Amino acid sequence: MKNILITGGLGFIGSTLAKKLIEKKIAKKCILVDNFGGYINPSHSNFFDYRKKRIESLKKNKFIIERLDTNNFKALFNIVKKYKPSLIYHTAALPLAKLKNVNADEAKQGSVDSTINLIDAVRMQKNKKISLSRFVYISSSMVYGDFKKKTVNENDKKNPKEAYGIMKYSGEIITKGLCKLYDIPFTIIRPSAVYGPTDMNRRVSQIFIEAAINNKEIFVEGPNEKLDFTYIDDLVDGLILAGTKSKAKNETFNITFGKGRKLINFVNTLKKYYPKLKVKIKPKDSSKPSRGTLSINKAKNLIGYMPKVSIEIGIKKYLTFLRNQN
């Protein structure tokens, strides 16, 4: 039982991770660091702020919320000093949905500046009653850019083609370099197309599902475009293994379902629940990378990662949650 610090702690991934860490009794307390910011226009017709719902799912005496921006080094330093976490998950960053109007400076602050600040805050308190067993950096499959192979593994070339992927990859380089320099154990995680209950950042899965619920036409960009859709519970299971298994130390893992599915496959699964669903296929947006399947063999072999939720099961779970929210 230990104090675990999660940046972006009120986010989709951070809050779900906190809940599981508490349920599994891995964390004595989860310190959720968050700036309370939002990236979606609240006037959007389907906008619903799930942050309160996320907090309600946590055991009230097992988590602490600290409001601060990870770009504020002094405040971050004081949080690390105060709680002396033995494990840090750095999930805070600009969300993928911001790609439509992202700028490089915003992405840099989320993935580069905040990572430097957090690692420096740990370094400056090393050997002062803080012993960090792992710094886990959440990157993205976007670092690969266009997939050049049917299945991409961790050693394949990284060639991001937009600001989000570029800055996420920069964060990886900083994590590896500074953590090795300061002798801080680290693990880097590359998720893909995460979806599930309480998501509100307008990822493609959320857009499709909300369109189906509201009887609106779905627009699919590219008839053959694929994503390795990953249900949130599978990702969180992988994050916990990555943060606690000794063989994950100083390693990088793809944590996904491990099978690329066409966007139209996702939509056709929705059609089972919404038979009258209208779909229109549009040309692919050339500014976005073409992706597909990520190999999870390394995660399976080294840390025992085994995803369980296919899109057929995941969509059913997601729809059940949304219906219960009315």
Distance CA 187, CA 189 (A): 7
Side-chain-side CA neighbours of 322 within 13 Å: the count stands at 20
What is the count of structural domains for the chain?
A: 1
Do the domain assignments include residue 201?
no
CATH number of the domain encompassing residue 125: 3.40.50.720
Structural domain for 246, as ranges: 2-192+232-256+298-308
Question: 225 lies in a domain?
Answer: no
Residue 139 domain-assigned? yes
Q: Is residue 287 part of a domain?
A: no
Nearest C-alpha neighbor of 315 from the set 217, 211, 197, 214: 197
pTM of the model: 0.91
Those residues whose C-beta lies under 8 Å from the C-beta of residue 302, and which sit 6 or more positions away, are 245, 247, 248, 251, 253
Residues of the chain with confidence (pLDDT) below 70 = 1, 37-54, 56-59, 94-107, 109, 127-129, 200, 326
- CA–CA separation, 322 and 14 (whole Å): 20
Rg of the chain over Cα atoms, rounded to whole angstroms, equals 19
Residue 38: its pLDDT value, please? 56
Q: Is residue 270 part of a domain?
A: no
Q: Are 299 and 255 in contact (CB under 8 A)?
A: yes
Asked if residue 80 belongs to a domain, the reply is: yes
pLDDT by residue (tens digit) across 105-143?
A: 666 767 788 999 999 999 998 766 678 999 999 999 999
Question: Is 60 inside any structural domain?
Answer: yes
Note the pLDDT of residue 93: 74
The crossing angle, in degrees rounded to 10, of helices 204-213 and 311-324 is 60
Answer yes or no: is 70 within a domain: yes
